[in-house]
A and B are shown apart, each in its own frame.
Chain A
Amino acid sequence: MSPKTLYDKIWDAHVAHEADDGTCLLYVDRHLVHEVTSPQAFEGLRMAGRPVHAPDKTIAVPDHNVPTTPGREDPANMTEDSAIQVAALDKNAKDFGIHYYPVSDIRQGIVHIVGPEQGWTLPGMTVVCGDSHTATHGAFGALAHGIGTSEVEHVLATQTLIQKKSKNMKVEITGKLRPGVTAKDITLSVIGKTGTAGGTGFVIEYCGEAIRDLSMEGRMTVCNMAIEGGARAGLIAPDETTYEYVKGRPHAPKGAQWEAALEWWKTLYSDDDAHWDEIVTIKGEDIAPVATWGTSPEDVLPITAVVPAPEDFEGGKVDAARRSLEYMGLTPGQKLTDIEIDTVFIGSCTNGRIEDLRAAADIVRGKKIKDGMRAMVVPGSGLVRLQAEEEGLADVFKEAGFEWRLAGCSMCLAMNPDQLSEHERCAATSNRNFEGRQGYKGRTHLVSPAMAAAAAITGKLTDVRDMM
Chain B
Amino acid sequence: MTRGWTEHSGRALELAMENVDTDQIIPARFMSTPRSEGYAKYLFHDLRRDADGALLSTFPLNDHADATILITQRNFGTGSSREAAVYALADAGFRVIIAPSFGDIFAGNAVNNGVLPATVNEADIDALTASMAGQNADLIVSLETLTISCNSVRVPFALSDTWSLKLKNGWDDIDLTLQHTPEIQRFKEARREERPWAWPDVAR
Per-position 1/0 for A134-155, Cβ under 8 A of B:
0000000000001111110110
Contact residues of A: prevailing secondary structure: loop
Contact A232 B104 (CB under 8 A): yes
Interface residues of B in 38-83 (CB under 8 A from A): 46-47, 51, 73-75, 78-83
Stretch in contact with the other chain, from B5-13, B137-145, B147-155, B181-189: B181-189
* A65 close to chain B: CB less than 8 A: yes
Interface residues of A in 129-179 (CB under 8 A from B): 130-132, 146-151, 153-154, 157-160, 162, 164
Per-position 1/0 for B178-204, Cβ under 8 A of A:
101001100110010001111111111
CB distance from A436 to the nearest CB of B (A): 5
Per-position 1/0 for B93-125, Cβ under 8 A of A:
000000001111100110011000000000000
Contact A56 B201 (CB under 8 A): yes
User: A153 CA to B83 CA in the complex, in Å?
Assistant: 12
User: A232 CA to B103 CA in the complex, in Å?
Assistant: 9
User: A258 CA to B202 CA in the complex, in Å?
Assistant: 11
| The residue from A131, A254, A441 contacting B81, defined by CB atoms under 8 A apart | A131
| The residue from B17, B24, B195, B200 contacting A436, defined by CB atoms under 8 A apart | B24
Residue of A nearest to B109 (CB): A148
Chain B hits for A253, CB < 8 A: 197, 202-203
The residue in A29, A197, A414 that gathers the most chain B C-beta atoms within 10 A of its C-beta is A197
The residue in A20, A130, A264, A413 that gathers the most chain B C-beta atoms within 10 A of its C-beta is A413
- Known pairs A122-B198, A154-B174, A261-B197; A434 contacts B83 (CB<8 A): no
User: A57 CA to B192 CA in the complex, in Å?
Assistant: 13
- Known pairs A36-B31, A440-B27; A151 contacts B200 (CB<8 A): no
Interface residues of B in 165-182 (CB under 8 A from A): 173-174, 177-178, 180
- Known pairs A158-B177, A197-B78, A230-B75; A84 contacts B105 (CB<8 A): no
* A326 close to chain B: CB less than 8 A: no
* A338 close to chain B: CB less than 8 A: no
10 more contacts with CB within 8 A, not counting A16-B184, A196-B78, are: A25-B184, A27-B191, A29-B198, A150-B112, A151-B109, A197-B19, A227-B79, A432-B80, A440-B46, A440-B51
> Which positions in B face A, CB cutoff 8 Å?
16-19, 21, 23-24, 27-29, 31-32, 35, 46-47, 51, 73-75, 78-83, 86, 101-105, 108-109, 112-113, 160-162, 173-174, 177-178, 180, 183-184, 187-188, 191, 195-204
